[in-house]
Amino acid sequence: MPEKQKKLDLAVRGALWFGPLKADGKGKAAKKSDQLAKGQLPKGQLVDVLVAKGKIVALTPAGSLDLRATHEVEAGGQVLLPSLTDVHVHLREPGQEYKEDIASGLDAAAHGGFANIMCMANTRPVNDTASVTEFMLEQARKSWPQGPRLYPIGALTKGLKGEELAPMAELKAAGCHAFSNDGRPVASTELFRRAVEYAQDLERIVIDHCEDPYLAPAAGMNEGVVSSRLGLPAQPDVAEAIQVARDVLLAEYLNAPMHLAHISCEKSVALIRFAKARGVDVTAETCPHYLTLTEDEAEGFSARAKVSPPLRAQADVEALLAALADGTIDMLATDHAPHAAHEKEVEFDEAPCGISGLDTALAATWELVRTGKLPFDAFVRAWTTAPCKRFALPVNTFKPGDPADFVLFDQDAVWTVSAETMHSKSKNTPLLGRSLRGRVAAHFLAGKYVVGKKTVGA
C-alpha cells in the first residue's frame, strides 16, 4: 500500500483467504497449495482487506499493517470471496410481479452473494423497446441503489417471436448489455445469423438458448430411463447438441463471438471443446442444478425438478464438472426462473419450466469445492472473472483499485432451504426442505454493507 495512503474507510480483519496473496504487497503471489489442482481447498490464511473510496487498497496478511479505518469489521475467520456475477436471471418485472419483481430478485441476489445480475428479456411486455429497458434500470436504482447492479439483456427478436429483429441499437443505447431470445430459441438460422452480425456491429454478444425448437421443446424432462418409467414426454440431449453445433459453426463462419446458455449434457461439452480447439470465439455456462442434480429428481412427478433444458443423467453431471474444471465450460449462471407455488403444484406436464436459484447457488457450488469435485480456482473463475471478462462487467480480484465488492461466507453454517430462509418471492426448487452448508454472513458492495451489518459487527 502506498506510504501516503493513511485514510481508510473500511478494514475487514481476520478473513480466511484461499487464493494467492502477495505477502508484502510488492512481491510475487504466494504459490497455491498442491491441493488446489486436486480440487480441494488449499490451507488458506487469515488476511485483512483494506478499502478506501469504494476500492480495494490492499489485501494483506492479518495484522501486518497497523492502520485504522473509519469502520472496522472483525471477520472471525469467515471465508473471503469476491462478489459473484450471474449472467442469466429472470426477474419477471414488468408483468409477472407475483412471481418475482426486481426488488425481490435483487434481494435474493444480495443475500446470495451476487454483485452483478444480467436479466433476460422474457418479461411482459418483452424487453424489446427502450422504455422497458429504462423501466427495469429505474426499478433497480430505486430498490437497491447501492447494488446489486442490474444489466438488462435485450430481446433478439421482436416479442421473442423469432420473426423480426428487435431494435438492437435502440436497446443498446437504453442500457442493454447483451441480446438473447432465451426461452424461445430462434428457429430460422438465416434470421439468427443476421442477429449475430448486427450484435457484433454493436459490440454486443448474443446469448443463445440451445434447444431445437422442433424436438420435444420445453418438455422439462430428459429422455431416458426415468422418463420411460414415468411415461412422461421427454427431450433427448441431442435437442440441445444440435443447436450447439449450429451455433459454433455459425460463430466460426462469421468470426463472431457467441455465448451458449445453460449447457446440460455431455454431447454439448464435446462440441464446445471441438469449437474451442479450432479457435472459435465461443463461451458457455452451466448451472448449479446441472452439476448437483439428475433426472432422478423427477421421480414422484415432482414439478419442482422441471426445467429447460432438463436435468440429465449422472454421466452428464460428471462431464460438466470436468468441463468446468478444465475451462471448456467458462462460467456458472443460475438461470434463476421464479414461479408461484400454484403454478408448480399441478401435473408435471402442465407446470412451467424453471428453478429458483439465486438463494442457493453459492452454497450448492461451494459444496462441490468442499468435497473435492470442483477446484477452488475454477469455482472463482466461473462465478467472477470469466463472466465479467466476457460481458465487460466490474470484477474484484482484490488488486489495488478493484471495486470493493466482496462476501464474508460462513462455510460451516448449516441451513434448511425453506420459504422462510429464501429471499426470492418464489420457492420453486428441488432443494426445498433440504439442508445446505454455507451462507453469506456479510456482503459489501463498493465497501459498504448491503447484507449482514447486524450479523458481522462494525
Residues acting as catalytic residues: 335
Q: Distance between CA 377 and CA 384 in Å, rounded?
A: 10
205 alpha carbon, distance to own chain's centre: 17
**365 residue type, one letter:** T
- Ramachandran area for residue 208 (φ above 0: left; ψ -120 to 50: alpha; else beta): beta
- Residue 145 burial (CB < 10 Å; 0-12/13-18/19+)? exposed
Chain position carrying cell 488458506: 44
- Residue 19 burial (CB < 10 Å; 0-12/13-18/19+)? buried
Q: Which residues contact 145 (CB under 8 A, 6 or more apart)?
A: none
Q: Yes or no: say if 119 and 95 are a contact pair by the CB < 8 Å rule.
A: no
Query: Which of 218, 219, 209, 273 has the alpha carbon at shortest distance from 247?
Result: 209
Helices (H), 162-313: 168-174, 189-201, 225-230, 238-254, 266-277, 288-292
Q: Yes or no: say if 108 and 77 are a contact pair by the CB < 8 Å rule.
A: no
Q: Distance between CA 93 and CA 100 in Å, rounded?
A: 7
The DSSP letter of residue 37 is G
Q: Distance between CA 66 and CA 222 in Å, rounded?
A: 58
Torsion angle of the four alpha carbons 134, 137, 141, 142, in this order, in degrees rounded to the nearest 10: 60
- Asked whether the CA dihedral 118, 120, 126, 127 is positive or negative, the reply is positive
- Residue 187 burial (CB < 10 Å; 0-12/13-18/19+)? middle
- Asked whether the CA dihedral 87, 292, 97, 443 is positive or negative, the reply is negative
Q: Yes or no: say if 338 and 424 are a contact pair by the CB < 8 Å rule.
A: yes
Largest CA distance in the chain: 71
List the end-to-end C-alpha distance of the chain, in Å, as a whole number: 23
